[in-house]
């Protein structure tokens, strides 16, 4: 069984540019989560999809962040325009049960 | 609040036991987790414990849960250099609609010296 796949693994962009992160969950997992770890701090929840619907987006920092999950399969997280404080590692996780989570390797985003 | 607290750093000698501690805040949390992150890698689930348990053992790993004090610990027996990593404690926070999001601590960096 393939795991949770994220790409790119690294992205370096300039302030003001747009970046789109992608997550492919484990096939059949209805629950998909995005988390973020800013330098040295705790990993923070961003949002949760159940299939294609946003179940909880209480962790999204502001309206520069847009997450989608078309067709309930893969998900994208777009940051537009990127700011310096958006730098960090973005993790995606999927779950079939809602309590067993498999995480991807993360995307390290650096905004310069 | 939603804070999960961990000490930031632990250094042990190879062969010793490591104990990583965590405190959480939500008494309604049903599951508590330990994740490991090796350099450049993603989050690997080490183990989890259901809140009606006091202890769970899995090979070199022992998890102890004190629900009264909201304290969780991870003991690694016979620590090896390959155990050097960041260890994250997390609680599963239930909300209406059972979103099941995880609240993580800041992570404890375990350094194992040969």
- In a structure prediction context, what are the per-residue pLDDT tens digits for chain B, which is 114 residues long? 568 999 999 999 999 999 999 999 877 777 899 999 998 888 999 999 998 889 999 999 999 999 999 999 999 999 999 999 999 999 987 765 556 789 999 999 999 999
Residue-level pLDDT at A9: 95
Sign of the torsion angle spanned by Cα atoms A86, A83, A12, A24? positive
Residue-level pLDDT at A85: 95
What is the distance in angstroms between the Cα of A70 and the nearest Cα belonging to chain B?
A: 19
- The neighbour count for residue A63, using CB atoms within 10 Å, is 7
Nearest to A41 among B30, B90, B106 (CB): B106
What is the distance in angstroms between the Cα of B51 and the nearest Cα belonging to chain A?
A: 13
Residue pair A109/A21 in contact (Cβ under 8 Å)? The answer is: yes
- Which residues neighbour B13 within 8 Å (Cβ) at sequence distance 6 or greater? B79, B112, B113, B114
Residues B95, B26: Cα–Cα separation, whole Å: 11
Contact call for A48 and B99, based on CB within 8 A: yes
- In a structure prediction context, what are the per-residue pLDDT tens digits for chain A, which is 112 residues long? 679 999 999 999 999 999 999 999 999 999 999 999 998 888 999 999 999 999 999 999 999 999 999 888 999 999 999 999 999 999 999 998 877 899 999 999 999 9
């Amino acid at each position: 069984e393939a795991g949770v796949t994220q790409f790119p693994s690294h992205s370096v962009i300039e302030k003001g540019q747009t970046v789109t992160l992608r997550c492919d969950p484990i096939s059949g997992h209805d629950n998909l989560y995005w988390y973020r770890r800013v330098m040295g701090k705790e990993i923070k929840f961003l949002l949760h999809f159940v299939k294609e619907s946003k179940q909880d987006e209480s962790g999204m920092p502001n309206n520069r962040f847009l997450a989608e999950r078309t067709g309930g399969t893969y998900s994208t997280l777009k940051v537009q325009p990127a700011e310096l404080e958006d730098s960090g590692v973005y993790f995606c996780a999927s779950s079939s049960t809602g309590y067993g989570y498999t995480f991807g390797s993360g995307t390290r985003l650096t905004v310069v | 609040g939603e804070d999960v607290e961990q000490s930031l750093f632990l250094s042990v000698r190879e062969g010793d036991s490591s104990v990583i501690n965590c405190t959480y805040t939500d008494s309604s949390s049903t599951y508590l987790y330990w994740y490991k992150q090796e350099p450049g890698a993603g989050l690997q689930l080490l183990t989890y414990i259901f809140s009606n348990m006091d202890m769970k053992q899995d090979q070199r790993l022992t998890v102890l849960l004190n629900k009264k004090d909201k304290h969780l610990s991870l003991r690694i027996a016979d620590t090896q250099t390959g155990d050097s990593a960041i260890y994250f404690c997390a609680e599963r926070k239930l909300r209406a609609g059972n979103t099941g999001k995880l609240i993580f601590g800041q992570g404890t960096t375990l350094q194992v010296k040969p």
